[in-house]
Amino acid sequence: MISLAVNETIARAVEVLRENDHGDYTIPTKGLYPFQWNWDSCLTALGLAHYDEARAWTEIETLFAHQWPDGMVPHIVFHVLNDSYFPGPEVWRTNRPTATSGITQPAVAGFAVRRLFDRAKDKKLAAERARALLPKIDAWHRWFYENRDPRGEGLVAIIHPWESGRDNSIDWDDAFERVPTEGVEPYTRRDTLHADPAHRPTKAQYDRYLWLLQHFRALGWDNAKLHDASPFQIVDPGFNAILIRSAADLADLAETLGEMEIAKANRARAEKGLLAMERLWSDAHGQYLCLDRVIGKLVDSASVGGILPVFSAIPKPRIAAIAATIERIAGKARYIVPSHDLDDPRFDAKRYWRGPVWLVVNYMIADGLAASGHTQVAQRITRSSVDLIAESGFAEYYDPLSGEPLGGGRFTWTAAMVIEFLKSER
Ligand code: DGY
Kindly state if the Cβ of 75 falls inside 6 Å of ligand 1: yes
pLDDT of residue 124: 94
Which residues of the chain register pLDDT less than 50?
Answer: 1
298, β-bridge pairs: 291
pLDDT of residue 164: 98
Amino acid identity, position 361: V
pLDDT of residue 1: 43
Kindly state if the Cβ of 166 falls inside 6 Å of ligand 1: no
Q: Rounded to a whole number, what is the largest CA-CA distance in the chain?
A: 60
The answer for residues whose C-beta is within 8 angstroms of residue 311's C-beta and 6 or more apart is 238, 241, 242, 245, 364, 365, 367, 368
Q: Is 278 a catalytic residue?
A: no
Kindly state if the Cβ of 162 falls inside 6 Å of ligand 1: yes
| Local structure of residue 100 (DSSP, 8 states) | B
Using one digit for the tens of pLDDT, what is the confidence trace for 48-89?
999 999 999 999 999 999 999 999 999 999 999 999 999 999
Counting from 1 in the atom list of ligand 1, the atom nearest the Cα of 37 is: 7
Q: Is 348 a catalytic residue?
A: no
pLDDT of residue 3: 77
pLDDT of residue 251: 99
Distances 72 to 62, 79, 262, 368 between C-alpha atoms, Å: 14, 17, 17, 26
Classify strands 76-77 and 36-37 as parallel, antiparallel or unpaired: antiparallel
CA distance 250 to 138: 8
Distance 2 CA to ligand 1 centre (A): 37
Distance 411 CA to ligand 1 centre (A): 14
Residue pair 11/410 in contact by the 8 Å Cβ criterion: no
**Among 82, 104, 162, residue to substitute to test ligand 1 (most atoms within 8 Å of Cβ):** 162
Number of Cβ within a 10 Å radius of residue 264 = 13
The answer for residues whose C-beta is within 8 angstroms of residue 96's C-beta and 6 or more apart is 66, 68, 74
Distance 262 CA to ligand 1 centre (A): 32
CA angle 255, 417, 304 (to 5 degrees): 85
**E-strand spans in 174-308?**
234-235, 281-282, 287-288, 291-292, 297-298
Kindly state if the Cβ of 199 falls inside 6 Å of ligand 1: no
Residue pair 113/215 in contact by the 8 Å Cβ criterion: no
pLDDT of residue 426: 57
Terminal CA-CA length for the chain: 14
**Among 167, 397, 406, 412, residue to substitute to test ligand 1 (most atoms within 8 Å of Cβ):** 167
Q: Which residue, among 171, 179, 183, has the nearest Cα to 231 in the 3D structure?
A: 179
Kindly state if the Cβ of 167 falls inside 6 Å of ligand 1: yes
CA distance 186 to 165: 24
SS3 29: strand
Helices 38-48, 412-425: crossing angle, 10 deg rounding:
40
Counting from 1 in the atom list of ligand 1, the atom nearest the Cα of 86 is: 2
Distances 305 to 54, 63, 241, 358 between C-alpha atoms, Å: 32, 25, 9, 12
Distance 86 CA to ligand 1 centre (A): 9
pLDDT of residue 424: 79
CA distance 101 to 87: 9
Q: What are phi and psi of 33, to 5 degrees?
A: -135, 80
Distance 264 CA to ligand 1 centre (A): 34
Residues making up the chain, counted from first to last: 426
Considering only CA atoms, which residue is closest to atom 4 of ligand 1?
A: 162
The answer for residues whose C-beta is within 8 angstroms of residue 357's C-beta and 6 or more apart is 333, 335, 336, 337, 338, 339, 384, 385, 388, 397, 398, 399, 400
Q: Which residue, among 67, 95, 71, has the nearest Cα to 145 in the 3D structure?
A: 71
